């Protein structure tokens, strides 16, 4: 060991020096899985013995046991650093499991309870003449309402959102663009019930219109616009500048360049963004409750009179509180989830299908 | 076009004059349209504030109670008496509970997906989390009311038994768990996917060389995360949490289905009762007369300002973070 | 302090792709060994197998043996964390922890390995910064962020951070490629001093640099793009640059390819 550089250096106690070797007594590789299994068994065992009703308690006992056993075993057999690393890994796994269980339970409950009342009749009939405590009835009027309201909202929000995004990416400079960007972000956070109250004050109270599907659509479009702007903006920014310059260099006016070059290049991503926004608003209840009012009958005209919608239908059936209405609520929830998930999957499908063209 | 000489490139194409002028006019119309849409968005935001304030002022001018401190909501009575104290308390308490549960777990899941999960598992997991963010809140609501509430009874007993001395977890009333605490748990489950997916994005952006610096010093995986990943991701996690908070504050249906409302401020969060802004609007709207609606609108305005504040703060944090990452590059 | 490295039959993979094939060599303690070769020949990959950093890359996998004195880094029960603690590394681009002060950057590795008294820590940080020829430039601003330093200073800070934990071996992956000539010179001088205490392995694209700083030089090459990289020869630096035994080495050094 040469000390040519620092001869004055005292020979240091090997406090930080490497441990005697590179190997280190460790827990076997199957240890985490083994401890997890043991904890689950113990958690369930204690749960049964102590006669705890709620599975949540079983799970929490298991989780705590898992963390404690892991830490102790590692601290005894390995060392404190290793134990800390293990406990961090365990906490991450436990938090993942803790979160996945309720989310899976949500899906499972909806599917298993919803499937009971869901059949062809349910999808093709309204609640006309069905009292809330008897079986039967259907969701047709609500499904129709949801589709019409969402379509109208999309017809309003998509063009405005698209054009705003074009403005921000292609034209926007200076303080106006900055203000729009900021308020689009803020608008993303508007609670849906506030959007509903806004349409209520203007359309219904100030202008004197009654409840209608269209009023609901306007509130939904307020919720949808910022989402469309954000996603479209991201997509337009991905269009390479070379493409724009190439088009402009050919003497194409800017608006045609945008319409013929920029938008077609980004269309897959834009469509995905719009679909995701549609999926998002299709499940909104609060503004519909304030503005569309709800009905048991089929009303195909969104501009005149009360309509229903899937989320509102679920809420109404839930409030009735009979077994039959709970069944209907779950079945409608299943229809709504299926509707939203199909929109999501289609959107992601479009994104994947179009991705190679827009990417890079 | 192919024959265009270089000198002509930056000029209009050699086509007829009329075509060129439609190009100009088209440009103007299109630019105007897109700028108009941007302005329309600002107008909508402004009118939300203006109209809500206008209706709220009508309600407030006739309110016989104190809008901020009255523990009551009799807006349709004569004279009307209503105040937001209970709603503000309930909204904030349920959101705090939701954040306290959701943020640590969301950071855990985000780390799981970005740094712990086997690679084959990570991508589908991220996908599932994104899908779950799209589940409508009314479905969380009925699941919460019909499934979660009975399941939580046992947990509530525990908390009461072992943590009852803290006052907060002291359960003084018997009855099902339709309490602010349950609402907080349900809101936590609801905002989990969104907080997770934003945090995950930030964790994935941590420069590889920062992590390798820690690894090469002989850091364990947890130490790498503590030294490199968390410091880099801190502001991202904060802004993700703010987005989640914004959702929790304004959530209507999940609260309306689960909570059994009352106009009392009760520090024992396991007791049923309390209320939130959005839940109160949903619950009182049907039976309210026109003046009652104005009163509800007034409470909606407060909620609007609250979420505006939270979202604005989140955006500022994100904007600041951009400067930071630029300096570190 | 310094240890000998003995590599035998080492191959490294990225998923199914073999990046380097069957490499064997010996690196003497308290010497500087330079790895040279064209881009993509696997010299950086090989370097990263010497402290088990290669397996951090997704799909990274290693076959073969690396003996540090007599202990196989890839033996069963060997803890990669302990390996990296023993074999320090300096990267191509300076990578101080952006949120830490200069002091905390140097102390980072020490704090991982146990608790130190404040006075002890101060002493080691000062010694390491002096060892990295950085002390005089930063002694007045130890609490400022490390990212505020110039590129060359940042790189020396990273070297100080690496030597603070007293490793046996110091690996350097093109440590000067992101630096200006003056900073490069400072690092090269530093390498000359550090080899008194450590076994140093340096990857470089700059042949003059290899000639200036190293005692031994290893030349890597690959048969074609997509083929794994191989060790062509390793010899005393003087010999490699004056009279190499393989024609490809001479072609590369005289600038005929690569």
Q: What is the DSSP letter of A209?
A: -
A16, A28, A85: best to mutate for the C interface, most C CBs within 10 A: A16
Q: pTM for this one? A: 0.85
Token look-up 């269980």 returns: A101
**Pairing assessment for the beta strands C216-222 and C229-236 based on DSSP bridges:** antiparallel
Q: What angle do CA B81, B83, B85 make, to 5 degrees?
A: 150
pLDDT for residue A80: 78
Tell whether C196 lies on the interface with A, counting CB pairs under 8 A. yes
Whether A171 sits inside 8 A of B34 (CB atoms) is yes
Give the model confidence (pLDDT) of A235-252 as tens digits. 898 888 888 888 888 888
The overall average pLDDT reported for chain A is 84
Whether B141 sits inside 8 A of A318 (CB atoms) is yes
Report the gap between the CA of B234 and the closest CA in chain C (Å). Answer: 11
| Nearest chain C residue (CA) to A8 | C127
Residue B324 banded pLDDT, cuts 50, 70, 90 = very low
According to DSSP, the residues that pair with A14 across neighbouring strands are: none
Report the gap between the CA of A3 and the closest CA in chain B (Å). Answer: 23
Q: Which of residues 6-35 of C touch A (CB under 8 A)?
A: 30
Report whether pLDDT(C192) > 50. yes
| Nearest chain B residue (CA) to A191 | B250
Report whether pLDDT(B202) > 90. no
Whether A193 sits inside 8 A of B300 (CB atoms) is yes
Q: Whole-angstrom Cα distance, residue B233 to residue B249? A: 24
- How many other CB atoms are found less than 10 A from the CB of residue C118? 7
**Residues A107 and A279 sit within 8 Å (Cβ to Cβ):** no
Q: Which CATH superfamily is domain A140-358 in?
A: MetI-like (1.10.3720.10)
Give the model confidence (pLDDT) of A132-187 as tens digits. 777 888 899 999 999 999 999 999 999 999 999 999 999 888 899 989 988 898 88
Quote the longest CA-to-CA distance of chain B.
87
Q: Whole-angstrom Cα distance, residue A27 to residue A89? A: 14
Q: What angle do CA A190, A191, A197 make, to 5 degrees?
A: 100
Q: Which of residues 170-229 of B touch A (CB under 8 A)?
A: 189, 192-193, 196, 220-223, 225
Work out the average pLDDT over A204-221.
92
pLDDT for residue A287: 93
Alpha-carbon distance values, C238 to A106, B4, B110, C191 (Å):
72, 61, 53, 18
Whether C85 sits inside 8 A of B217 (CB atoms) is yes
pLDDT for residue C257: 66
pLDDT for residue B322: 54
Q: Whole-angstrom Cα distance, residue C209 to residue C190? A: 13
Does B73-328 carry CATH code 1.10.3720.10?
Answer: yes
Q: For B277, what's the count of Cα atoms within 13 Å in the CB-facing half-sphere?
A: 29
| Nearest chain C residue (CA) to A13 | C120
Q: Whole-angstrom Cα distance, residue C83 to residue B208? A: 20
C131-142 exposure pattern, b = at least 16 Cβ within 10 A, e = fewer: bbbbbebbeeeb
Give the model confidence (pLDDT) of C201-211 as tens digits. 999 988 889 99
A59-92 exposure pattern, b = at least 16 Cβ within 10 A, e = fewer: bbbbbebbbebbbebbeeebeebbbbbbbbbbbb
A338 versus B9: the higher-pLDDT residue is A338
Report whether pLDDT(A262) > 80. yes
Sort A284 into a burial class: Cβ within 10 Å, 0-12 / 13-18 / 19+: buried
B218, B221, B327: best to mutate for the C interface, most C CBs within 10 A: B218
Listing from the earlier edge strand, what are the strands of the sheet with C60-68?
C71-72, C60-68, C5-14, C17-27, C229-236, C216-222, C32-36, C199-203, C169-173, C87-90
One-character DSSP codes across C136-188: HHHTT-TTSBGGGS-HHHHHHHHHHHHHHT--SEEEEESTTTTS-HHHHHHHH
Report the gap between the CA of C165 and the closest CA in chain B (Å). Answer: 8
Q: Categorise residue B175: left if φ over 0, alpha if ψ from -120 to 50, beta otherwise.
A: left
Give the model confidence (pLDDT) of C232-245 as tens digits. 999 999 999 988 98
pLDDT for residue A310: 94
Note the Cα C1 to chain centre separation in Å.
16
Annotated domain spans of chain A: 31-113, 140-358
Complex prediction ipTM: 0.84
With pLDDT > 70 as the criterion, what percentage of chain C qualifies? 98
B211 versus A21: the higher-pLDDT residue is B211
B20 versus C172: the higher-pLDDT residue is C172
What backbone phi and psi angles, to 5 degrees, belong to C25? -165, 165
Whether C77 sits inside 8 A of A24 (CB atoms) is yes
pLDDT for residue B198: 86
pLDDT for residue B23: 66
Work out the average pLDDT over C111-123.
84
Give the model confidence (pLDDT) of A271-305 as tens digits. 888 988 998 899 999 999 999 888 888 888 888 88
**Packed helices B17-62 and B290-328: angle between N→C axes, nearest 10 degrees:** 120
pLDDT for residue A309: 93
Residue B321 banded pLDDT, cuts 50, 70, 90 = low
Residue B105 banded pLDDT, cuts 50, 70, 90 = very high
**Residues B216 and C53 sit within 8 Å (Cβ to Cβ):** yes
**Residues B97 and B186 sit within 8 Å (Cβ to Cβ):** no
Whether A23 sits inside 8 A of C77 (CB atoms) is yes
Q: What is the DSSP letter of A293?
A: B
Work out the average pLDDT over B231-259.
89
**Residues B223 and B211 sit within 8 Å (Cβ to Cβ):** no
Work out the average pLDDT over C150-177.
91
- Residues of C with Cβ-Cβ distance to B328 under 8 angstroms: 98, 147
Give the model confidence (pLDDT) of A103-113 as tens digits. 888 999 999 99
- Residues of C with Cβ-Cβ distance to B223 under 8 angstroms: 112
**Residues A200 and A280 sit within 8 Å (Cβ to Cβ):** no
Work out the average pLDDT over B186-206.
90
Whether B136 sits inside 8 A of A337 (CB atoms) is yes
Give the model confidence (pLDDT) of C123-162 as tens digits. 999 999 988 889 999 989 998 888 889 888 999 999 999 9
Q: Which residue in C95, C147, C165 is closest to B213 by CB distance? A: C95
| Nearest chain B residue (CA) to A313 | B138
Q: Whole-angstrom Cα distance, residue B184 to residue B182? A: 5
Alpha-carbon distance values, B145 to A116, A143, B285, C65 (Å):
19, 23, 21, 61
Report the gap between the CA of C2 and the closest CA in chain A (Å). Answer: 7
Whether A160 sits inside 8 A of B145 (CB atoms) is no
Q: Whole-angstrom Cα distance, residue A149 to residue A306? A: 12
**Residues B85 and B70 sit within 8 Å (Cβ to Cβ):** yes
Q: Which residue in B42, B47, B282 is closest to A183 by CB distance? A: B42
**Residues B65 and B72 sit within 8 Å (Cβ to Cβ):** yes
**Residues B226 and B206 sit within 8 Å (Cβ to Cβ):** no
Q: How far apart are the first and last CA of chain A?
A: 54
**Residues A307 and A149 sit within 8 Å (Cβ to Cβ):** yes
The overall average pLDDT reported for chain B is 84
pLDDT for residue A12: 38
Collapsed DSSP state (helix, strand, coil) of residue A327: helix
Q: Which residue in A110, A179, A283 is closest to B42 by CB distance? A: A179
Tell whether B116 lies on the interface with A, counting CB pairs under 8 A. yes
Q: Whole-angstrom Cα distance, residue C38 to residue A34? A: 48
Sort B46 into a burial class: Cβ within 10 Å, 0-12 / 13-18 / 19+: exposed
CA nearest neighbour of A336 among B148, B141, B190, B196? B141
Whether B219 sits inside 8 A of C99 (CB atoms) is no
Tell whether C1 lies on the interface with B, counting CB pairs under 8 A. no
Report whether pLDDT(B8) > 50. no
Tell whether A21 lies on the interface with C, counting CB pairs under 8 A. yes
pLDDT for residue A25: 63
Report the gap between the CA of B228 and the closest CA in chain C (Å). Answer: 7
Q: Which residue in B34, B143, B282 is closest to A167 by CB distance? A: B34
**Residues A148 and A140 sit within 8 Å (Cβ to Cβ):** no
Radius of gyration of chain C (CA): 18
pLDDT for residue A314: 94
**Packed helices B17-62 and A213-238: angle between N→C axes, nearest 10 degrees:** 130
Q: Which CATH superfamily is domain C5-96+168-253 in?
A: P-loop containing nucleotide triphosphate hydrolases (3.40.50.300)
Q: Whole-angstrom Cα distance, residue A341 to residue A334? A: 10
Report the gap between the CA of A272 and the closest CA in chain B (Å). Answer: 14
A201, A306, A325: best to mutate for the B interface, most B CBs within 10 A: A201
Report the gap between the CA of C40 and the closest CA in chain B (Å). Answer: 19
Alpha-carbon distance values, A98 to A309, B50, B103, C14, C165 (Å):
33, 44, 13, 35, 39
Report the gap between the CA of A97 and the closest CA in chain B (Å). Answer: 9
Annotated domain spans of chain C: 5-96+168-253
| Nearest chain A residue (CA) to B150 | A54
Tell whether C65 lies on the interface with A, counting CB pairs under 8 A. no
Alpha-carbon distance values, A304 to A72, A139, A292, A308, B246 (Å):
68, 20, 10, 12, 34
Sort A133 into a burial class: Cβ within 10 Å, 0-12 / 13-18 / 19+: exposed
- What residues have CB less than 8 Å from B319, skipping those under 6 apart? none
Alpha-carbon distance values, C166 to B216, C101, C171, C194 (Å):
13, 21, 13, 11
**Pairing assessment for the beta strands C71-72 and C60-68 based on DSSP bridges:** antiparallel
- Residues of A with Cβ-Cβ distance to B192 under 8 angstroms: 99, 103
pLDDT for residue B5: 40
Work out the average pLDDT over B250-262.
91
Q: Which of residues 200-219 of B touch C (CB under 8 A)?
A: 207, 209-210, 212-219
**Residues A201 and A287 sit within 8 Å (Cβ to Cβ):** no
Work out the average pLDDT over C20-41.
91
């Amino acid at each position: 060991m040469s000390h040519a550089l620092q001869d004055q250096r005292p020979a240091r106690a090997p406090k930080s020096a490497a441990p005697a070797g590179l190997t280190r007594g460790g827990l076997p590789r199957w240890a985490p899985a083994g401890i997890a299994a043991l904890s689950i068994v113990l958690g369930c065992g204690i749960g049964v013995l102590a006669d705890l009703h709620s599975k949540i308690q079983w799970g929490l006992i298991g989780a705590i046991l898992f963390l404690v056993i892991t830490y102790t075993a590692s601290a005894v057999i390995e060392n404190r650093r290793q134990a800390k690393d293990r406990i961090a890994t365990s906490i991450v796994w436990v938090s993942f499991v803790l979160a996945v269980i309720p989310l899976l339970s949500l899906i499972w409950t909806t599917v298993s309870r919803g499937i009971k009342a869901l059949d062809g009749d349910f999808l093709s009939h309204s609640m006309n003449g069905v009292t809330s405590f008897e079986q039967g009835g259907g969701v047709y009027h609500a499904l129709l309402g949801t589709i019409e309201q969402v379509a109208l909202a999309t017809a309003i929000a998509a063009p405005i959102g698209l054009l705003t995004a074009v403005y921000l990416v292609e034209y926007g400079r200076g303080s106006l663009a900055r203000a729009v960007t900021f308020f689009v972000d803020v608008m993303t956070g508007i609670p849906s019930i506030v959007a509903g109250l806004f349409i209520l004050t203007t359309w219904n109270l100030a202008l004197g219109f009654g409840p209608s599907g269209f009023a609901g659509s306007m509130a939904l479009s307020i919720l949808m616009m910022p989402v469309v702007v954000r996603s479209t903006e991201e997509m337009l920014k991905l269009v390479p500048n070379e493409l724009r310059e190439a088009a402009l260099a050919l003497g194409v006016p800017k608006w045609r360049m945008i319409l013929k070059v920029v938008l077609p290049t980004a269309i897959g991503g834009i469509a995905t963004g719009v679909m995701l926004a549609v999926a998002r608003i299709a499940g909104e209840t609060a503004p519909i409750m304030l503005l569309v009012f709800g009905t048991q009958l089929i009303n195909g005209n969104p501009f005149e009179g009360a309509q229903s919608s899937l989320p509102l239908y679920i809420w109404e059936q839930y409030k009735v509180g009979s077994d039959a209405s709970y069944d209907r609520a779950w079945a409608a929830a299943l229809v709504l989830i299926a509707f939203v998930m199909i929109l999501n999957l289609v959107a992601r499908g479009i994104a994947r299908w179009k991705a190679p063209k827009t990417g890079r | 076009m192919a024959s265009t000489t270089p000198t002509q490139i930056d000029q209009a194409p050699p086509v007829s004059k009329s075509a060129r002028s439609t190009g100009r006019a088209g440009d103007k119309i299109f630019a105007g349209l897109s700028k108009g849409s941007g302005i329309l968005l600002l107008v909508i935001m402004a009118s939300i504030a203006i109209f809500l304030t206008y209706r709220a002022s009508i309600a407030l001018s006739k309110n016989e109670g104190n809008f901020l401190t009255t523990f009551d909501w009799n807006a349709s009575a004569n004279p009307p008496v209503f105040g937001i104290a209970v709603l503000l308390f309930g909204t904030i308490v349920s959101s705090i509970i939701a954040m306290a549960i959701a943020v640590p777990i969301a950071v855990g899941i985000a780390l799981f997906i970005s740094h712990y999960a086997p690679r084959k598992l990570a991508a589908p997991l991220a996908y599932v989390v994104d899908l779950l963010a799209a589940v409508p809140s009314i479905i969380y609501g009925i699941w919460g009311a019909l499934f979660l509430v009975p399941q939580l009874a046992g947990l509530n007993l525990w908390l009461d038994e072992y943590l009852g001395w803290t006052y907060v977890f002291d359960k003084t009333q018997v009855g099902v768990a339709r309490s602010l605490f349950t609402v907080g748990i349900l809101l936590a489950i609801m905002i989990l996917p969104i907080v997770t997916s934003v945090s995950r994005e930030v964790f994935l952006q941590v420069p590889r060389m920062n992590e390798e610096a820690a690894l090469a010093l002989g850091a364990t995986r947890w130490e790498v995360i503590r030294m490199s990943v968390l410091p880099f991701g801190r502001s991202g996690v904060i802004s993700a949490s703010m987005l989640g908070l914004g959702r929790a504050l304004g959530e209507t249906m999940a609260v309306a289905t689960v909570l059994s409302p009352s106009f009392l401020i009760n520090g024992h969060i396991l007791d049923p009762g309390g209320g939130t802004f959005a839940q109160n609007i949903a619950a009182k709207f049907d039976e309210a007369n026109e003046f009652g609606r104005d009163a509800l609108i007034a409470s909606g305005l407060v909620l609007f300002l609250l979420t505006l504040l939270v979202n604005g703060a989140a955006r500022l944090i994100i904007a600041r973070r951009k400067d930071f990452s630029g300096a570190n590059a | 302090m310094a240890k000998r490295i003995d590599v035998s039959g080492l191959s490294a993979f990225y998923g199914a792709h073999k990046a380097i094939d069957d490499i064997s060599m010996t690196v003497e303690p308290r010497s500087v060994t330079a790895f040279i070769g064209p881009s993509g020949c696997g010299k950086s990959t090989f370097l990263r197998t010497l402290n088990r950093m290669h397996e951090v890359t997704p799909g990274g996998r290693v076959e073969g043996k690396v003996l540090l004195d007599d202990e196989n880094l890839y033996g069963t029960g060997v803890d990669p964390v302990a390996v990296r603690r023993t074999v320090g590394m300096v990267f191509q681009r300076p990578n101080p922890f952006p949120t830490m002060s200069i002091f905390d950057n140097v102390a980072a590795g020490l704090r991982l390995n146990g608790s130190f008294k404040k006075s002890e820590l101060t002493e080691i940080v000062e010694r390491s910064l002096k060892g990295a020829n950085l002390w005089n430039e930063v002694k007045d601003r130890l609490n400022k962020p490390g990212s505020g330093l110039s590129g060359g200073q940042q790189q020396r800070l990273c070297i100080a951070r690496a030597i603070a934990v007293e490793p046996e071996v110091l690996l350097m992956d093109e440590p000067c490629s992101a630096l200006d000539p003056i900073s490069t010179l400072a690092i090269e001088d530093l390498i000359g001093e550090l080899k008194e205490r450590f076994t140093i392995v340096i990857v470089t694209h700059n042949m003059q640099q290899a000639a200036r700083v190293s005692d031994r030089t290893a030349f890597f090459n690959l048969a074609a793009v997509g083929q794994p990289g191989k060790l062509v020869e390793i010899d005393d630096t003087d010999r490699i640059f004056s009279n190499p035994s393989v024609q490809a080495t001479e072609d590369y050094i005289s600038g005929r390819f690569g």
